[in-house]
Amino acid sequence: MFSKFLNLDQEKQDRIINAAIKEFAQKGYERASTNEIVKEAGISKGLLFHYFGNKKQLFLFLFDYCYEIIAEQFYQKINLDEKDFFTRIRQAVMIKMELLTIYPDLFKFIEEAYMEDSAEVKIEIDKRVKEWNDANFGKAYEGIDFSKFRDDMDIKKVLKIITYTFEKLSEEELLKAKLSPTHHVDYEKVFLEAEDYFEIFTKCFYK
Amino acid sequence: MFSKFLNLDQEKQDRIINAAIKEFAQKGYERASTNEIVKEAGISKGLLFHYFGNKKQLFLFLFDYCYEIIAEQFYQKINLDEKDFFTRIRQAVMIKMELLTIYPDLFKFIEEAYMEDSAEVKIEIDKRVKEWNDANFGKAYEGIDFSKFRDDMDIKKVLKIITYTFEKLSEEELLKAKLSPTHHVDYEKVFLEAEDYFEIFTKCFYK
Amino acid sequence: MFSKFLNLDQEKQDRIINAAIKEFAQKGYERASTNEIVKEAGISKGLLFHYFGNKKQLFLFLFDYCYEIIAEQFYQKINLDEKDFFTRIRQAVMIKMELLTIYPDLFKFIEEAYMEDSAEVKIEIDKRVKEWNDANFGKAYEGIDFSKFRDDMDIKKVLKIITYTFEKLSEEELLKAKLSPTHHVDYEKVFLEAEDYFEIFTKCFYK
Amino acid sequence: MFSKFLNLDQEKQDRIINAAIKEFAQKGYERASTNEIVKEAGISKGLLFHYFGNKKQLFLFLFDYCYEIIAEQFYQKINLDEKDFFTRIRQAVMIKMELLTIYPDLFKFIEEAYMEDSAEVKIEIDKRVKEWNDANFGKAYEGIDFSKFRDDMDIKKVLKIITYTFEKLSEEELLKAKLSPTHHVDYEKVFLEAEDYFEIFTKCFYK
DNA sequence: AATGAATGAGTTTTCATTCAT
DNA sequence: AATGAATGAAAACTCATTCAT
């Protein structure tokens, strides 16, 4: 599919990818300009289309690219020997924060992509997100000692409640950051707040 | 502000509003075409701008319009005499579903508006959402008997967990619907699933 | 022609005239908006066209109106008993400056009108200017004692040289004023400079 | 800046330049339509903006282009060895007339540009005119034998009187031409009239 | 492979003028 | 006389995509 592009020398690939991610992250799919991308990447107009066919395919390629990098890094850093659920989740939250500071553009891009509602692109993104979630949900919980959980509740639903809560919390923090003048997330505060929720969940869901 | 528009006969107002909501809901702010809106509404190009000044003001007008209708209907239908939290929430979920089937376009539009990331419009929408939330969060929980909740947990965080869970559940159901061939939400299934969560929450959070 | 308009009570006429002059003076013929004019004048859209037919006729009406007021004032103030040419010219320059400070809008409008190159309007304006000049050239020089001038030169050409010089000088000063930050003409400096030219002309053209 | 445009083959450049000059000369900046220009030039709408960015830049490019051509031709034709002021001026007038018949459109465009009062463009044009005048005023009078002039008058003001007179004369002739049915300047008559003025000036300003 | 000139349908917005009331 | 809603052609400008070189 993108084999022509992937055969380029790494430096050129990076130039193009970074230029494109930057533009999409800043302006969203619709407003992003392929003109700006080629200018920033220092390549010709025709070449971009030679490699990616059209804007949509470029966008989806980048989405997969970003997702893969982040996922790979994530599973490399996480310690799957840790059996306690909450310790594992705590780890995951910290790693996510770490990656956020290392790859802010990739996260920004992914975040924008999630919210993209250009009909053309949304369905494709949603499909990919679903696939990724299905594939990785199990992985993230690999080796967890679920015997610590109460027996009188559907454990799948319990996990969902926990996951939903942390997802919504981080969405809210990102929104707050966007509306604040500095645009910065106060990670320490977030982490402290998260601890409170861990405590509640432990009380509720552990035996 | 929009007094010229609001003095029109209801039928014409509706034609314009429906055409605009449809277009924005389908394509998002940026891609929506004022050309399409006037064509669908059967009015001239100039008239739309005579009433609304520009595309952005039209969009924000529609947002307020949709929000007001839905909120008004919601608070008309909900029974604020019901003191039990979960019974109240159960009511709210049912009313929301009912409204979703009566006004699918309004919800679709609101949903898209939330996710809009055209910088021009996003900030304005976020502002409005924050105001609405601040104003209505208290209202929805008016008269609730919070003494039934456990005393060893921060009740605000508990309420957040519950709210987040139901929000995420409905987001997921809407996404599933979009990806399904029929585009329909299976309300009965959703309701049954919700019951399971109510049970878990009651066990966890009530004394 | 404009009898409908001229039968209005003076106050309403003035409101309309002032609003229109202001708009045209500020933006020129093409960019001036009839919308702004009616808003400023506090009348309806239809009425303006009821009185003046179209934008062009309104513009030409205003041109005549301004010209008449200024000319009338000018010939009222000038002392036609003064027989010496240069004293008379000196008077004329001073009166013009005085009127410029009393009726800045009218002058600004006239000035803009002269420079108007909307083809539609330019020819009409040029025609009127020519007519006015022909009619008034004689009048301005009424009673002048031309016997003081040298006999070996065509006096008509001599007068033209003098007139051209002062016209160009004031054009240049207006341009300078426009390019300066304050937009103000330094009348005193202009007057002193004019004196130098009077001296040269007296030396050259008087016996 | 306009390097993309200047790399085109001459024929295409000319087509575009001529179409644009024609449209601007006829209608002035504001009323000129880029649509008409591309139609006349036989190029696509996008291309014009690819080359010139926007209407204003196109206009200013044309102004510089016209000015340069005319100035270059002028200084190529004028004989700077001629030391007598009036002979030199006579030469200049003739060359200007000659150029006016060779490049009527360029002159027309420049003339309209001078008078342009679209605020957007006027300031830029005025700036350029001032620069050109400062740079070329000295050049035109290079090598002139000013010792022939009377010593009892400020020579700078004398030169201004002479320049103003000829400028106004040609303005008047152009206006007459515009109002005449044929639109043609009667150069012979103009030249004869100019001779009369030369005579007056020689009598007045030479020793 | 690589270029970048060229396209043209598309966008939002403006505005003089009309006309039913 | 007076209103102002309604029109729709026209404006400047954009941009993903193509294609000859």
pLDDT at C155: 93
Other chains touching A, judged by 3 or more CB pairs under 8 Å: B
Residue A47 beta carbon within 7 A of nucleic strand F: no
* pLDDT band per the 50, 70, 90 thresholds, residue C119: low
- Protein contacts on strand F: list nucleotides below 7 Å from a Cβ: 1-20
Residue A31 beta carbon within 7 A of nucleic strand F: yes
Residue nearest to nucleotide F11 (CA to C1'): D33
Chain D meets chain C (3+ C-beta pairs below 8 A): yes
In the chain, the amino acid numbered C162 is: I
Taken in order of first residue, the domains within chain C and their CATH numbers are 3-148 (1.10.357.10)
In this complex, the nucleotide whose C1' atom is nearest to the CA atom of residue D52 is F13
D25, C114 Cβ separation under 8 angstroms: no
Residue D9 beta carbon within 7 A of nucleic strand F: no
Residue B45 beta carbon within 7 A of nucleic strand F: yes
Cα dihedral B1, B6, B8, B10 in deg (nearest 10): 160
Q: Which residue is listed with tokens 């992250």?
A: A25
Distance of CA B15 to the CA centre of its chain: 21
- Which range has the worst mean pLDDT, A49-58, A136-145, B42-51, D143-152? A136-145
Residue A8 beta carbon within 7 A of nucleic strand E: yes
A205, A149 Cβ separation under 8 angstroms: yes
Q: Does B178 score more than 70 pLDDT?
A: no
Q: Does C178 score more than 70 pLDDT?
A: no
Q: Does C179 score more than 80 pLDDT?
A: no
* pLDDT band per the 50, 70, 90 thresholds, residue B117: low
C-alpha to C-alpha distance for A177 and A183, rounded to whole angstroms: 5
Neighbour-count burial of D138, counting CB atoms closer than 10 A to its CB (0-12 exposed, 13-18 middle, 19+ buried): exposed
Residues 107-146 of D with CB under 7 A from strand E: none
Lookup: tokens for C83: 């027989």
Residues 9-68 of C with CB under 7 A from strand F: 43-47, 49-50
A66, A106 Cβ separation under 8 angstroms: yes
Q: Report how many Cβ contacts below 8 Å link chain C to chain D.
A: 84
Backbone phi, psi, residue A39, to 5°: -65, -50
pLDDT in tens, C46-100: 999 999 999 999 999 999 999 999 999 999 999 989 999 999 988 888 888 888 8
Lookup: tokens for D15: 């087509």
Residue nearest to nucleotide F1 (CA to C1'): C47
pLDDT in tens, A132-174: 878 777 787 888 999 999 999 999 999 999 999 998 888 788 7
CA distance B7 to chain A (A): 33
* pLDDT band per the 50, 70, 90 thresholds, residue A30: confident
Question: Beta partners for C149?
Answer: C206
Residue A39 beta carbon within 7 A of nucleic strand E: no
CA angle C28/C31/C32 to nearest 5° reads 70
C-alpha to C-alpha distance for D9 and D1, rounded to whole angstroms: 17
pLDDT in tens, C128-166: 888 887 877 778 788 899 999 999 999 999 999 999 998
Residue nearest to nucleotide E11 (CA to C1'): B33
Mean pLDDT of B86-96: 88
Cβ distance of C118 and D31 shorter than 8 Å: yes
HEC string of chain C? Answer: CCHHHHCCCHHHHHHHHHHHHHHHHHHHHHHCCHHHHHHHHCCCHHHHHHHHCCHHHHHHHHHHHHHHHHHHHHHHHCCCCCCCHHHHHHHHHHHHHHHHHHCHHHHHHHHHHHHCCCHHHHHHHHHHHHHHHHHHHHHHCCCCCHHHECCCCCHHHHHHHHHHHHHHHHHHHHHHHHHCCCCCCCHHHHHHHHHHHHHHHHHHHEC
C-alpha to C-alpha distance for B62 and A62, rounded to whole angstroms: 34
Distance C47 CA to E19 C1' (A): 13
CA atoms within 13 A on the CB side of D71: 15
